[in-house]
Amino acid sequence: MNAETELKFRVAPRKLSSVLRGGRRSDRSEKTLVSTYYDTSKHKLRRHGLTLRVRKVEGHCVQTVKAGGAGGVTRGEWEQDVAGEKPDLEKTRDTPLDRLASKKLSRKLRPVFQTIVHRVAQARRLRNSRIELAVDRGRIGARRRAQPIAELELELKSGRVGNLFQMARTIARKTDAELDLRSKAERGYRLATGVRDGAQHAEPIRLDHAMSALDAFRAIAHSTLRQITANADPVRKMDSEGVHQMRVGLRRLRAAISLFADVLPRTRTARIKAELKWLTGELGPAREIDVFVSESVRPITDRGIPKRGARALRKKFSAERKVAFSRAGDAVGSARYRRLLIDAVEWIETMRPRPDDDLGIPAYAAQVLGGRIDKARKQGKRLGELAPEQRHKLRIRIKKIRYAIDFFGSLYRKRDQNELAELSSRLKRIQSALGSLNDFMAHRELATDAALNAPPANRRAQAFASGFIVGQEHEAARGLMQDAAKELHRLHRLRIAPGK
């Protein structure tokens, strides 16, 4: 087995050629690679975290099995020469595919998609490390669908992974290259299944009972980072759901940092947290105004409010919405965002365990969930006495417990999943009620500002419409407080524990 350690970047096609400038021509090679990826009609290999391809290069064929692992930059790779362009499962022994290999599987394998790539590669040295830069241009094809490929790969051939990231930063600074956590195989499967490149939701997380707490965090952190990067293009296109899902990814990563605080290195983690908070703040106004416009401003038109006032509010906040979405797009298109991605992946990959990190993930998960639920129950008993800022903190606490259940859910037995789902549903109802209360506070500020600063021509009408929104949401807040209090009263510790 080879361990493939690589970083992949999206680079504007006009800047791709400049990546290889400066190296010796004798260290450069060019190849055309035709790779066909195989799976069953139900994508059995993909579901098991495996890819199987046969690549034709310079007249001979190479079969490759790759194991996705926990989504990091290092993956297992097993290569064998094969006689033709079809897979040979006899040559998958001593690979993770061997346990699935059978005559039945062999009959069911079929081409799912194909990549045709012209690759220009160059060997580089940085201190004692050898790194290969590969510029790929070509296309991915699946049935009648196709997408262009224009990307850069940096593969560590030998040496220190820190040097790989150092070179990545230099190239990103010179070419505006953006880290892309999707492999060609992932793009190919999306193309084959017809999944559009819109807003991306969180992917399922599977943890192994043998993992340490730190290894489990790495798997979770990579997954959340993938959700963040997958929504970069939708954010740039001013897609409201893309903004929402990127913020969800950011919240999930920040929640994971909080849940695993006992095992993470403090200094480096603090720097990453600060940058994640910055990006969350840049996206916040877009999400806040979008929710206000869709849930509070637009509906009042049908509720007897003078059209003049409703129209004035829509005009005001539609303009502000555009500015807020532009700000979010600028943040995701910035050099600071691109540095954050590289820094975050390096932080995840290179952090070392603390001397006192001796808990396996099952015990760690039980400890974290138990302690957090107890604190939420205690604070929830005084819900009616809490100030808005305290309620906001309780909502965040509830949200972190929900994320923890999502992160740790695969560690629980199938027979225990119903209790886990019931607890998650209760937490969701509490979070929803407290979240609406928090939104109302933000909406009140927006509506009050709109009333006080309306232009003379629309002052009365806009003030009336703003007052209607505030009054309506104030009335709804009473019921939400009752709902949250009832669910918090029913909140209980899990009666189950992680187990095989």
pLDDT digits (tens, 9 = 90+) for 354-404: 776 678 999 999 999 999 999 998 888 888 788 878 888 888 999 999 999
Burial of residue 205, with CB atoms counted within 10 A of its CB: 0-12 exposed, 13-18 middle, 19 or more buried: buried
Strands 50-57 and 129-142 turn out to be unpaired
Lowest mean pLDDT among 57-61, 313-317, 487-491: 313-317
pLDDT digits (tens, 9 = 90+) for 190-216: 999 988 778 999 999 999 999 999 999
pLDDT band at 455 (very low <50, low <70, confident <90, very high): low
State yes or no: pLDDT of 176 exceeds 90.
Answer: yes
In terms of Cα–Cα distance, which of 91, 101, 156, 110 is closest to 129?
Answer: 156
* Domains by residue range for the chain, with CATH: 2-195 (2.40.320.10), 227-490 (1.40.20.10)
Give the C-alpha distances (Å, rounded to integers) separating 273 from 173, 287, 380. 22, 20, 27
Percent of the chain with pLDDT over 90: 60
Which residues are registered as beta bridge partners of 120? 30, 135
The confidence score (pLDDT) of residue 55 equals 95
- The identity of residue 311, as a single letter, is R
Distance CA 104, CA 313 (A): 64
SS3 205: coil
Q: Mean pLDDT score of the chain, rounded to an integer?
A: 86
Tokens for 21, please give them. Answer: 């400038």
Give the DSSP H/E element, type plus range, for residue 135: strand 129-142
Compare 474 and 227 and report the one with higher pLDDT.
Answer: 227
Percent of the chain with pLDDT over 70: 86
Distance CA 292, CA 447 (A): 9
Tokens for 404, please give them. Answer: 């923890």
Contact by Cβ (8 Å): 363, 201? no
Contacts of 158 (CB under 8 A, 6+ apart): 129, 130
Contact by Cβ (8 Å): 309, 450? no
The pTM assigned to this predicted structure is 0.87
The confidence score (pLDDT) of residue 233 equals 95
Distance CA 26, CA 333 (A): 36
Lowest mean pLDDT among 43-52, 149-158, 170-179, 462-471: 462-471
* DSSP result, 220-289: HHHHHHHHHHHTHHHHHTT-HHHHHHHHHHHHHHHHHHHHTGGGS-HHHHHHHHHHHHHHHHHHHHHHHH
pLDDT digits (tens, 9 = 90+) for 20-57: 776 676 678 999 999 999 999 999 999 998 999 999 98
pLDDT band at 74 (very low <50, low <70, confident <90, very high): confident
* DSSP result, 23-63: S-GGGEEEEEEEEEEEE-TT-HHHHTTEEEEEEEETTEEEE
